[in-house]
Amino acid sequence: MTHTPAAPLAGRVRHARPRATRRGRGRPLLYLLPAAAVLVPLFGYPIYMLGLLSVFDYRQAQVSGGEPTRFIGLGNYATLFGDERFWSILLQTLVFAVALVVVTLAVGATLAVVLTRAGRWPRLLLSLAAMAAWAAPAMTGSTVWMFLFDADLGLVNQVLGLDGFNWFYDKWVAFGVIGATVVWHSFPLVMVTLYAGIQAIPHSVREAAWLDGASEWQSFWRIILPILRPLVTIVVIQSIIWDFKIFTQIYVMTNGGGIALQNSVLNVYAYQTAFGSSEYGLGSAIGVVMTLILLVITMFYIRALYRTGERL
């Protein structure tokens, strides 16, 4: 999946306040009608249904009509919170997401600074390469990295002289390879956004720092970063949301979550619980937990947006 670019940053927004004096009060609603006709049944209703399913005992027997659907209140949640596997998957989802965010930002920020220093051709080369990685579908990115790390025919094993080493056997080694694939897909967004941000800082500011004898390191941490703080916050939160929702890479590279779901994150766990084990109610409960966590992160995101002065 191509990393959705920082949504609110895209497009050139001139904040002209809409006027209240327009004639035809029903017109905006008329224009919103097609969007509502799509989003209410296909987006709003499924969210409601997800919550609803999570409080029912809904398994294969109920789907096929063999047994009546039973309301069990918070029963699914009780099962979930009592299950050690849920907690360990929740923990590894968080650890994996945090690691991904840190590495993506470190790589993206470093290369953004490199871009500002590099000459024309190296800059163009890196931009184009990053675009290619950004554009590559998550699916094909996963297949290529799988091939590179293949036990028998993979380039990595042959170069390192590891004969038949299986990179997807050990849980954390597999997470490492998946993580590398994800970072490869997602650092370009961070790099391009921060590079654009740095370019927007008036040259005189950086020059003044240089004249005052600030080192590269100092001027990055003391000048560039503080000025870009709102932008960095948005990129960080976007990365958290994105890395928390990783699905395709894990599903494809570990064939559905790995041996005994050892490499799954909440997203994959919810999907496998529902469609793999036909525990649709329980799977929905996991989905609700995930949605709530993302909602909290989104609150911070909206607050950060307001800070940058983006007027809604």
Partner 1 sequence: MKRARLAANTVAIVAAVVTFFPIYWMALSALKPAGEIQSLQVRPWTLAPTLEHFERVLGGENFARYLLNSLMVALAVVALSALVAFLAAVAVTRFTFRFRTTVLIMFLVAQMVPVEALTIPLFFLVRDIGTAVPGVGLNTLGSLVLVHLAFSLPFAIWMMRGFVAAVPEALEEAAMIDGASRPVVLWRILFPLVAPGLIATGVFSFITAWNDFIFARTFIISAKDNQTLPAALLVFFKPDENDWGGIMAASTLMTIPVLIFFVAVQRRLVAGLGGAVKD
* Residues within window 155-194 making contact with partner 1, judged by CB under 8 A: 155, 158-159, 184, 188, 192-193
Answer for which of 78, 200, 208, 259 binds partner 1 (CB under 8 A) is 200
Q: Is 274 an interacting residue with respect to partner 1 (CB under 8 A)?
A: yes
Neighbours of 144 (CB within 10 A): 13
> Is the Cβ of residue 42 or residue 260 nearer to partner 1 in the bound state?
42
Nearer to partner 1, 143 or 166 (CB): 143
Q: Of 201, 243, 240, which Cα lies nearest the Cα of 220?
A: 201
- Check binding of 287 to partner 1 (CB under 8 A): yes
Q: Report, in Å, the least distance between residue 171 CB and partner 1.
A: 21
Using the contact rule CB under 8 A, the part of the chain among 34-42, 83-91, 97-105, 171-179 near partner 1 is 34-42
Least separation in angstroms between residue 243's CB and partner 1 is 12
Shortest Å distance, C-beta 154 to partner 1: 9
Contact flag: residue 277 with partner 1 (CB under 8 A): no
155 contacts: CB under 8 Å, gap ≥ 6:
147, 148
Among 153, 204, 212, 226, binds partner 1 (CB under 8 A): 153
Instruction: State in angstroms the smallest separation of the CB of 96 from partner 1.
Output: 15
Using CB under 8 A as the binding rule, the residues of this chain from 36 to 65 that contact partner 1 are: 38-39, 41-43, 45-47, 49-50, 52-53
Among 171, 196, 203, 232, binds partner 1 (CB under 8 A): 196
Mark 152-187 as b/e (b = at least 16 C-beta within 10 Å): eebebbeeeeeeebebbeeeeebbebbbbbbbbbbb
Contacting residues for 40 by C-beta, under 8 A, at least 6 apart: none
Q: Which of 85, 137, 162, 205 binds partner 1 (CB under 8 A)?
A: 137
Q: Which 203-232 positions form the footprint of partner 1 (CB under 8 A)? A: 216, 231
Nearer to partner 1, 58 or 175 (CB): 58
Nearest-10 crossing angle of helices 225-244, 84-117? 140
Token pair listed for 266 = 């909440």
Name residues contacting partner 1, limited to 91-130 (CB under 8 A): 111, 114-115, 117-119, 122-123, 125-126, 128-130
Count of CB atoms within 10 A of residue 223's CB?
A: 17
Stretch that binds partner 1, among 82-90, 97-105, 166-174, 276-284 (CB under 8 A): 276-284
